[in-house]
Amino acid sequence: MKDKKDKEDKEYMAHKDQGISTLFSKPSYLISLKGMEFFTHLGVKSEEKEQGQKIIIDLELSCYYLPGIGSDNLEQTVNYSEVYNFVKEKAEAARNDLIEYLAGEIADGVLHRFPLVATLSLTIKKPFAPIQGTFDYMAFTLTRNRDDDNPERKGAARFSEAKEDFRCSETQRADSLARNGAEQPLPSVNLPHEVYISLGSNVGNRVENLTYALHRLESTPGIRLINVSSLYETLPWGETEQRNFLNAVAVLRTSLEPLAFLDICQAIENERGRKREIKWGPRSLDLDLIFYDDLEIESERLNLPHPLYRERDFVLVPLAEVKGSKTTDGENVKLVSASWYPLR
């Protein structure tokens, strides 16, 4: 059985580039905001901007997983009151010509502000469009998937902003070249926090689980993957009667606060079927925050730096690697692949 499972990992590694694009399941949770009415001043004709008119907006937000389902915690779901207020602000301030442009502004903002949203569908209706004839409304519908990162879809203005976001100093670029050996995308000046996370899996297709996690993280607005260690196979820690783990450490930049980042990690764990029945037991996916800048936190949900990281070789070895130290594998931690995940 072990040989069969390990063979699945190796087969996935052999086709990892093709595998990444097929990892995501269909979002399972839907939040709907229907029939939102706002008075706005958008439109091509001068009278539309001067006199204004009513528009109606329907918005559906699809999520892979919402931690609030199990916790009953408002902070661990998509707060539709906050979504409504954001849409209201954008709609009532609009002075542009096209509802298509407003739809893009709202969609981009929702995905950026609410990282638990996987996809959205947005419809803007104009029941009083200045057209001679009988009709219920004129409308435009936009569907946006978080996984779709083609910036040209966001319009020339937002594309320029995106390019500006990822500019950085020559010193940062030199540091990245020295660390990674090749030029990599560098942290945006708008992603001020540096986060180190430990990734682990010993249930199912371990490589696919870890690949899924990194792809989901770097597909989330407000998070950018900067570096990832080699992949290591490690002996289980704590509860030792279980399959070996695959482990790695990743370095990310983020604009999210610590608990928001934790929410994303826990949602991704749940998407891969994570069970929390046995302490230190088998797990399809484990994402632990090791460092968040130099922040020190002691709370019920989060302790930083991670209180046990110094005791765990499966963290220390890949952590030393991404920090630029010389590392060697050993009896408990063995190198599997030095280039298992493609950095963009």
Of the candidates 34, 126, 154, 326, the residue annotated as catalytic is 126
Q: Verify cis geometry, omega within 30 degrees of 0, for the bond prior to 305.
A: yes
CA-based nearest residue to 214, from 248, 180, 175: 248
Sheet holding 53-63, edge to edge: 29-40, 53-63, 119-126, 138-145
The terminus-to-terminus CA distance of the chain in angstroms comes to: 35
> What is the Cα–Cα distance from 250 to 289, expressed in whole angstroms?
10
Would residue 126 show up in a list of annotated catalytic residues for this protein?
Answer: yes
> What is the Cα–Cα distance from 48 to 128, expressed in whole angstroms?
10
**DSSP-based three-state secondary structure for 188:** coil
> What is the Cα–Cα distance from 196 to 312, expressed in whole angstroms?
15
In this structure, what token pair is assigned to residue 339? 């280039």
> What is the Cα–Cα distance from 330 to 333, expressed in whole angstroms?
5
Contacts 24+ apart (CB under 8 A), 129-135: 130/43, 130/45, 130/47, 130/48
Catalytic annotation, residues: 126
